[in-house]
Amino acid sequence: MERQPETELMNEEEQARAYALADFSEPHENFVELFKQSFPGVVVTGDVLDLGCGPADIAIRFAKRFPDCQILAVDGAEMMLKFGQEAIEAARLSRQITLKKIYLPTDSLPHKTYQAIISNSLLHHLQDPRVLWQTVKQYAQHGASVFVMDLMRPRSESAARDLVEEYAGNEPDILKRDFYHSLLAAYTVGEVEEQLEREVLLEFSVKPVSDRHFIVAGTV
C-alpha cells in the first residue's frame, strides 16, 4: 500500500484532548523499557530532547525512569502543549520537564546539543522525514543516545482497520480516525532504512518491535 500523508500538527482541541486522555501506557512504557534495553548501562543525567512530544506522556515516563535528567519537550501544536503542561504539573515534574512550542525544523533550541534525543510517533506526521534525521544530527552531542519509535505502515487499508479495532476499538471515534490515518501515513522499515542511509546515519539500526511499531536506536 502506498503511503498516504496526514496533517503534521495535531492542533484541534477535540483531537488533542482525545489523544491526551487515551491510554497509551503499554506502548509508552515499552518505549522507555526499549530505550533501556537499547542502551544497556546508560544512565541519562544530562539534557534530553523529546521531539514532537504531544501531551508529554513519554516525557513524564522518561523523567520518572531517569530522575537526574532535564527534558526539553517540543511540539508545534499549542493545544497538545496545553494538555502536556497539565499532565506535567499533575505529575509534579515541572522542574524536570520544560515544554516549548517549536515547529520543526528549528535553529532556536536553548542548548546547542543534547545527551539524548527521543521521539515517539512524530516521523509519520512529517511531510519530509529528513526533518527528524537532520534535527537529530543538528542537536545530538557526540556520544548521544538517540531513540525513535513510530508506527509501521500495514500492508493494506483493511489491515490498518483491523489494527484500529484491535488497539483502539473502545476509544472515541476521533482517536480511531487519527490512528487509522497515522497507520496509512507511517513508513515501512525499508523506507526508514533508506532515510537513514541517505542521511548517512549508518550507526542507527531499525527493528520492528510489535505488530505496529518499529524502533530506531543508535549512538551518535
Q: In this structure, what C-alpha cell is assigned to residue 8?
A: 503534521
Instruction: Answer yes or no whether residue 217 interacts with ligand SAM by CB under 6 A.
Output: no
# residues contacting ligand SAM (CB under 6 A):
19
Q: Strand, coil or helix: what is 74?
A: strand
Nearest residue (CB) to ligand SAM, 143 versus 208: 208
What's the closest the beta carbon of residue 60 comes to ligand SAM, in angstroms? 10
Instruction: Answer yes or no whether residue 54 interacts with ligand SAM by CB under 6 A.
Output: yes
* Choice from 70, 121, 145, 195 touching ligand SAM (CB under 6 A): 121
* Choice from 34, 35, 44, 57 touching ligand SAM (CB under 6 A): 57
Q: Distance (Å, rounded) from C-alpha 209 to C-alpha 21? A: 24
Q: Strand, coil or helix: what is 45?
A: coil
What's the closest the beta carbon of residue 163 comes to ligand SAM, in angstroms? 15
CB atoms within 10 A of CB 13: 11
Give CA separation, 115 vs 124, 184, 220, in Å: 24, 32, 10
Stretch 123-182 residues interacting with ligand SAM (CB under 6 A): 125-126
Q: Cβ distance 74 to 110 under 8 Å? A: no
Torsion of CA 150, 151, 152, 154, to 10 degrees: -170
Instruction: Answer yes or no whether residue 99 interacts with ligand SAM by CB under 6 A.
Output: no
* Choice from 18, 32, 72, 80 touching ligand SAM (CB under 6 A): 80
* Choice from 58, 123, 148, 192 touching ligand SAM (CB under 6 A): 58
Q: What's the burial of 203, exposed, middle or buried (CB within 10 Å: 0-12/13-18/19+)?
A: exposed
Binding segment toward ligand SAM, per CB under 6 A, in 74-82, 88-96, 164-172, 199-207: 74-82
Residues of this chain that bind ligand SAM (CB under 6 A): 8-10, 52-54, 57-58, 75-77, 80, 103-104, 120-122, 125-126
